[in-house]
Amino acid sequence: MMPVEDFEALARGCPETVTLELINGELEVRPVPDGDHDEIVMWVATQCLRQRPELRLYPGRGLRIGTDRDGRARPDGTLAPVGRFAGDGQWSSPDRILMTVDVTSYDDGHGRTCGYAAAGIPLRLLIDHRSGTCAVRSEPTTTRYRRQHLYDLGEAVALPHPASITLDTEELRNYTR
């Protein structure tokens, strides 16, 4: 179990080739994303902005997650009201966050997902551009999300309240490999 203070000191000196996270007291290292990943994140951000201009999808925002907020994660995108993170330092509390977005090609970040749920973040969108699928998780509890809807890329994905956005994911099929 790594103390939060030690993790934050390590993360400050981390090279730009990796992203560090502290999930359930354990250090996790994620590789820097590829171009397809970046295109997907920007596509989601554009869709959110078009449908809900009072919101922004903030890339790589550091969040305090878990029941005791002792975890540290950097989702690919964090959907929140404009100005939500003004004045925050490197790590923000999960209040007023509507959804986290992650684009992956290796796993679903189970520990991260549970940490988002425990922090009370209403929605989690996970796009797997290798398998061409999308998962929407909702109804957080202190240990998990109660609901999960799976979609194939190309389908319309209805993000429930509080996001209340529909994503026509046909374009994302261009980024599957």
pLDDT digits (tens, 9 = 90+) for 116-131: 999 999 999 999 988 8
Q: Which of 62, 101, 65 is nearest to 85 (CA)?
A: 62
Residue 155 belongs to some domain of the structure: yes
Residue 11 belongs to some domain of the structure: no
**How crowded is the C-beta side of 126, counted as CA atoms within 13 Å?**
22
What tokens were used for 138?
């909702």
Residue 3 belongs to some domain of the structure: no
pLDDT for 8 equals 83
Q: Which of 123, 119, 81 is nearest to 99 (CA)?
A: 123
pLDDT for 105 equals 58
pLDDT for 110 equals 67
Q: How confident is the model at residue 68 (pLDDT cuts 50, 70, 90)?
A: confident
Q: How confident is the model at residue 31 (pLDDT cuts 50, 70, 90)?
A: confident
The total of structural domains in the chain comes to: 1
pLDDT tens digits, 78-111: 999 999 999 999 999 999 999 999 998 555 566 7
Residue 14 belongs to some domain of the structure: no
Residue 137 belongs to some domain of the structure: yes
Helix (H) or strand (E) holding 19: strand 18-23
Average pLDDT, the chain: 90
The DSSP result for 80-122, as a single string, is: EETTTTTT--SEE--TT--EEEEEESS---HHHHHHHHHTT-S
pLDDT for 108 equals 55
Residue 72 belongs to some domain of the structure: yes
Residue 26 belongs to some domain of the structure: no
Q: What's the CATH number where 74 sits?
A: 3.90.1570.10
pLDDT for 67 equals 79
Q: Which of 176, 166, 92, 65 is nearest to 125 (CA)?
A: 166
Task: Return the SS3 of 13.
Answer: coil
pLDDT for 109 equals 60
Residue 2 belongs to some domain of the structure: no
pTM: 0.84
Q: Which has the minimum average pLDDT: 40-49, 56-65, 67-76, 155-164?
A: 67-76
What tokens were used for 71?
């975890």
What b/e sequence results for 45-68 when a residue is b if at least 16 CB atoms lie within 10 Å of its CB, and e otherwise?
bebbeeebeebbbbeebbbbbbee
Cα–Cα distance list, 3 to 23, 67, 91, 93 (Å): 11, 15, 15, 18
Q: Residue 62 sits in which domain range?
A: 34-175
